Amino acid sequence: MKILVTVKRVVDYNVKVRVQPDHKAVELNNVKMSINPFCEIAVEEAVRLKEQGVATEIVVVSVGSKACQETLRTALALGADRAIQIEAEDNIDSLAVAKLVAAVAKEETPDLIIMGKQAIDSDNNQTGQMLAALLDIPQATFASEVKIDNGEAQVTREIDGGLQTLAITLPAVVTTDLRLNEPRFIKLPNIMKAKKKPLEVKTPDELGVATSSNITVVSVTPPEERQGGIKVSSVEELVDKLKNEAKVIA
């Protein structure tokens, strides 16, 4: 079984991003970048499936400028076998990413595609669902457990009311939630090995995909900052404030 995994290079989750003074975008200069945490979970899941003998090959794909090769190398160090960079501007629309990955999927014909549920920069939570629709294959989003059996994936999903389990026919798209697994630490020898693994570069032209967009960003502004409040010294004072000042309890 072949697994395709998508990985996105994003601002590290520990960074509190700031908006540029011209309110056109967020400040990305000299900011630490990392693999999107949900994509890291996606790679880890694929690697575990390979270790269990369920998967035989893991191909990782990233759409972006040359810098995303670094993210692909991280995925290779985690255990993926080969990588494909699709050379494009960073942060093109999810629909364009889905079309590009769909074109690669048509060439690679994977049995399973694992993606993050959400990129923590755009917070879109849509690319996996779009890809599944474009390929006309089933999906199981927000996965916390994946079992492969008999040409099917049985997937437990984190939904608003609790957990739901679906069985989907392969090929299919699975998107990861936080509880699916805990990614391993990368060992130094694996970083060295990753440097030697194949990394191919493709262009949207080669894939026959137009990446134009009908969405224009008008402005990016900082959020309204909350005024920090006060410290109270006792439960009694807290209750008094909530009743008489904030008036949120009777």
Partner 1 sequence: MSILIIAEHDNKTLKAATLNTLSAAEKIGGDIDLLVVGANCQAVADQAANVASVNKVFVADNDVYEHQLAENVSKLVVDLAKNYTHVLAPATTTGKNMLPRVAALLDVAQLSDVVAVVDKNTFVRPIYAGNAIATVTSSDAIKVITIRATGFDAANSEGGNAEIVSLDQVIASEKSRFVGEELAESDRPELTAASVIVSGGRGMGSGDNFKILDGLADKLGAAVGASRAAVDAGYVPNDFQVGQTGKTVAPDLYIAVGISGAIQHLAGMKSSKIIVAINKDEEAPIFQVADYGLVADLFDVVPELEKAL
Ligand X SMILES: Cc1cc2nc3c(=O)[nH]c(=O)nc-3n(C[C@H](O)[C@H](O)[C@H](O)COP(=O)(O)OP(=O)(O)OC[C@H]3O[C@@H](n4cnc5c(N)ncnc54)[C@H](O)[C@@H]3O)c2cc1C
Q: Sketch the per residue contact string, 16 through 35, with partner 1: x for CB under 8 A, - otherwise.
A: xxxx------x---------
Look at residues 2, 19, 7, 57 and name the one whose alpha carbon lies nearest to residue 222.
Answer: 19
Choosing from 65, 144, 186, 190, the residue that interacts with partner 1 (CB under 8 A) is: 144
Contact 54, 45 (CB under 8 A): no
- Smallest distance, Å, CB 228 to partner 1? 5
The binder of 64, among ligand AMP, ligand X, partner 1, none, by C-beta within 5 to 8 A per type, is: ligand AMP
What DSSP state is assigned to residue 111?
S
The binder of 172, among ligand X, ligand AMP, partner 1, none, by C-beta within 5 to 8 A per type, is: partner 1
Measured CA distances, 79 to 46, 76, 120, 169, 250 (Å): 9, 5, 23, 25, 57
Query: Is residue 181 close enough to count as binding ligand AMP by CB under 6 A?
Result: no
Query: Is residue 6 close enough to count as binding partner 1 by CB under 8 A?
Result: no
Kindly tell me which of 188 and 215 has the beta carbon lying closer to partner 1.
215
Collapsed DSSP state (helix, strand, coil) of residue 96? helix
Q: Sketch the per residue contact string, 8 through 37, with ligand X: x for CB under 6 A, - otherwise.
A: -----x-----------------------x
Among 68-76, 104-112, 193-201, 237-245, the segment contacting partner 1 (CB under 8 A)? 237-245
Judged by phi (left if over 0) then psi (alpha if -120 to 50, else beta), residue 104 lies in alpha
- Total of chain residues touching ligand AMP, rule CB under 6 A: 21
φ, ψ at 133 (rounded to 5°): -65, -45
Q: Which two tokens stand for residue 29?
A: 């200069």
Look at residues 106, 97, 101, 114 and name the one whose alpha carbon lies nearest to residue 213.
Answer: 97
Give residues in contact with ligand X (CB under 6 A): 13, 37, 120
Give residues in contact with ligand AMP (CB under 6 A): 6-8, 36, 38-39, 62-64, 94, 97, 115-116, 118-119, 122, 124-128
